Amino acid sequence: MLAVSLLVCATCWSVSSGEGSYMARALRLMSETPLIDGHNDLPWQLRKQFNNQLDKVDLNTLETTHTNIPKIKTGRLGAQFWSAYVPCESQYKDAIRQTLEQIDVIHRVCQKYPNTFMLATSSQDIVEAFSHNKTASLIGVEGGHSIDSSLGTLRTLYHLGVRYMTLTHSCNTPWADNWLVDTGSEPSQHNGLSPFGKRLIVEMNRMGMLIDLSHVTVSVMQQVLDMSKAPVIFSHSSAFTVCPHKRNVPDEILKRVNETGGIVMVNFYNDYVTCSHKATLANVADHFDHIRKVAGAGIIGFGGDYDGVARLPEGLEDVSKVPHLVAELLRRGWSDLEVKATLGNNLLRVLKRAEENAGGSHRACKLAHTAT
C-alpha cells in the first residue's frame, strides 16, 4: 500500500514538474519575444461602461473587463492592437465621429498610464516598447463603415496612428461584402469588392496600412490576396476546418496566406473555437495545431478578441491567462522557434513588409514629384 502511495505521489510530482517546466519555458520565450495580440476591444468597453470618461475608471483596479493593467502584466502582453470599433448602426450617420472618439480614447489611455503603455505606429516602436517593458499600443479600425467611403478619411486615420483596417464588420459597406453574405443571411452587393474597394486596397498598400480580412467573405479574401502588394492579416479569426463558422478561415485561404506571407491571428471566442457555447484552452490550441499543419507556424498569431466577446474558453478567461496557452503549445511539441514566431515575430515580419512596400511607393512618388 505504501509502495502504491509513493508511486502515485511520484507520478503526480512528475506531471506537476512537467507542466511547470513548460510554463517556465513559455515565460522565458515571452521575455525574449513580445506577445503581439491582434485584437482587443477594451476601448469599446470604456465607451460602453464609462462613456470614455477616463477620470471615472482606473485600469489598475478595473474588474468588469477581461483586460486591466495587472492582467496585462501577468499575461506578458508585449504589444496590442486596440480596436477602434463602432457599431454598424452608425454607418451613414456618425461613424466617423464615433471612430475618432475611439481613436482618441486609445491615445488618452497611453497618456494616462505612460509607465504601462507606449503608443506605437511601426514595427520599430513595438521593439522599442518591449525593450522598456511597456505594452506597445497600436490602433486598428474594425470596419470599413468607419471611413464613410472616403479615401481622405482613410488617410487621416493613418495620420492619427491607425495601422490596420478591417474591411467590413458584420454589415456590407458600399464597396465590400461582409461574412454574413457567405451564410446566406444577407445578399451580396458587390460580388466581393466594388471598383472603389479595389482602389482602397491600392491606397492601403501605398500608405503601409495593414489590410485585415477578418469579417469579410471568402470572395473578398481571394480578391485581396490576388491584388495586395503587401501581406494581409486576419486580426481575430480561427480555422474553419476545426470549427466551420463563416467567421473562420478555410484551408485554401490559409495556404494562400502562407504563399503571400501574411498572418492569421487565432480568435478565442467560444463560438469560433468549437462552434458552441463551451470551449477550453485545449480547443484553442487545436486551431493553432491545424493552421500549423496546413500552412506552417509562420502564418500564426494571437487574436484573442478579449472584451469584444461574451464567452471565452475555460483556461483563457482573461488576458492574464495567455501564457498557459503558450505552455500548451510547447507541451504539444512546438519548437522554441515556432512559438517565438507565433508570439510576435510573424506579425513583426508582416508589418515590416507593409512598411517597406509603402516606403517604396513613397520614394517613387517623391521622385515623380521631383521630376515634374
The tens-digit pLDDT sequence of the chain (372 residues) is 544 444 444 444 444 556 789 999 999 999 999 999 999 999 999 999 999 999 999 999 999 999 999 999 999 999 999 999 999 999 999 999 999 999 999 999 999 999 999 999 999 999 999 999 999 999 999 999 999 999 999 999 999 999 999 999 999 999 999 999 999 999 999 999 999 999 999 999 999 999 999 999 999 999 999 999 999 999 999 999 999 999 999 999 999 999 999 999 999 999 999 999 999 999 999 999 999 999 999 999 999 999 999 999 999 999 999 999 999 999 999 999 999 999 999 999 999 999 999 984 444 344 333 333
Alpha-carbon distance of 253 to 257, in angstroms, equals: 6
- pLDDT computed for residue 367 by the predictor: 31
- pLDDT computed for residue 361 by the predictor: 45
Question: Of residues 142, 177, 286, 328, which has the active-site annotation?
Answer: 142
Q: Which three cell numbers stand for residue 316?
A: 483563457
CATH of domain 26-371: 3.20.20.140
Question: Of residues 66, 190, 236, 287, which has the active-site annotation?
Answer: 236
The question of whether 245 is a catalytic residue gets the answer no
- pLDDT computed for residue 370 by the predictor: 35
The question of whether 236 is a catalytic residue gets the answer yes
- pLDDT computed for residue 1 by the predictor: 53
Q: Where are the domains of the chain?
A: 26-371
- pLDDT computed for residue 20 by the predictor: 86
Classify residue 334 as exposed, middle or buried by CB count within 10 Å of its CB (0-12, 13-18, 19+).
buried
Nearest to 215 by CA among 285, 265, 161: 265
Question: Of residues 37, 39, 125, 290, which has the active-site annotation?
Answer: 39
- pLDDT computed for residue 112 by the predictor: 98
**Amino acid at the residue 323:** P
Question: Of residues 37, 177, 182, 305, which has the active-site annotation?
Answer: 305
The question of whether 215 is a catalytic residue gets the answer yes
The question of whether 277 is a catalytic residue gets the answer no
- pLDDT computed for residue 362 by the predictor: 45
Question: Of residues 145, 215, 245, 290, which has the active-site annotation?
Answer: 215
Residue 14 CA to chain centroid, in angstroms?
A: 36
Which positions ≥6 away from 41 have C-beta within 8 Å? 83, 85, 305, 306, 307, 308
Question: Of residues 145, 169, 245, 287, which has the active-site annotation?
Answer: 169
The question of whether 190 is a catalytic residue gets the answer no
CA of 12: how far to CAs of 129, 143, 207, in Å? Answer: 40, 49, 55
- pLDDT computed for residue 14 by the predictor: 44
